[in-house]
Amino acid sequence: MPVRDQATRAINALRNVLPRQVSIRSGRKPGEVQINELTVNLAWIGDGWLPDARRLIDIDRARPTIAAARRVSPGAAKALSSAGIGFVDDTGAAEIVLPGLIVSRAGQAQQSPDRPGRWTRSVLAIAEALLCDVQPTVAAIREATNLSSGSCTNGLRFLTRERLLSAKAKRGRGSGRQMTDPDRLLNAYARAAAAVPLGDSLQVGVAWRDPIVGLRGIGDTWNDEGIEWAATGPLAAALIAPHLSSVSTAHVYVDAASTAGLAAAADVVGLRPIQGGRLRLTTFPTATARRCATVVEDVRLAPWPRIYADLRTAGVRGEEAAEHLREVMSGRTT
């Protein structure tokens, strides 16, 4: 989005939450806004996830700052508030504390978030494979995902048009694609994954004290029965990038076509559906989530990009764990 459009969108979001009697006008310098007689910095931070907030927090500020975004996530809201930065977003959520002005509002829930561009489940599967170091060729992607050649070709072409992949030439020896920026691809993928609803889901009751030990036992039975499965969310992250002090629930993808299939998989291990159960079973969201699962400490795990995307929608602690997972998988230290 052009800088001028960002500034306009940020000011509009701010106007929508402030009382009508409050005067708002652009300041003398880019990024400055005058609210009544007070000049503040107004910064557009894009989608409004925790990394977006952290980039703004790291910038030295000489005056009060307000962050504006499409939707400020719970993790970003906590980080901004702790840093003394106000925020506002397109849903109408706001937390602003200035001399003589205090605004605290909850935003309107989005019933069906817009899916960015043409991010189909096939494209999501291709992005997951690329982030797991599968080469961006039709042959390699097809082998990893079992998608058709046409789906692989169209998906790679879409990601190239989105400038998430690059190619020196359209055809010939120089036409091989390359990932331009893994972080950009991960951000785009995670945003799209959050907008694409998961499949059928079922909660079942468990009596385990240690969810990892409990899931390992359940998984052994599923393996013996030929039922494919893969853990995601906080429990999966705890095995590859420990961050949360405790995990009491588990979210597992199971190779089933419906809720009835999930119930049948639960029945195999002697579990019954129960509202609020600590084990959540969900049908696999993509082919890659099933085919590219890995095994850590005898527990099958979904590909790390899918775990990351699921963590980002699991509240403040989930977002923090997601960013820790990103750092670990990128070879960085916190």
What is the mean pLDDT for each group of 10 consecutive residues in the chain (334 residues)? 76 90 86 88 92 88 84 93 93 90 81 65 96 94 95 94 80 66 93 90 92 94 96 95 86 95 96 93 95 94 97 91 92 51
Q: Does domain 201-329 have CATH number 3.40.50.10210?
A: no
Using alpha carbons, list the distances in angstroms from residue 39 to 33, 34, 84: 6, 4, 16
Kind of pairing, strands 86-89 and 94-98? antiparallel
Cα separation, 127 vs 241, whole angstroms = 21
**Inter-residue contact 333 to 243 (CB < 8 Å):** no
Kind of pairing, strands 86-89 and 65-69? parallel
pTM above 0.75, yes or no: yes
pLDDT confidence of residue 173:
47
Q: How far is CA 246 from the centre of its chain?
A: 21
The pair of three-digit structure tokens given for residue 272, joined into one six-digit string: 């019954």
Per-domain boundaries in the chain:
3-105, 121-195, 201-329
**R_g (Cα) of the chain, nearest Å:** 22
Cα separation, 203 vs 193, whole angstroms = 21
**Inter-residue contact 285 to 291 (CB < 8 Å):** no
pLDDT confidence of residue 250:
94
Cα separation, 54 vs 148, whole angstroms = 40
pLDDT confidence of residue 54:
92
Cα separation, 204 vs 255, whole angstroms = 16
Fold type of domain 121-195: Arc Repressor Mutant, subunit A (1.10.10)
Cα separation, 56 vs 53, whole angstroms = 5
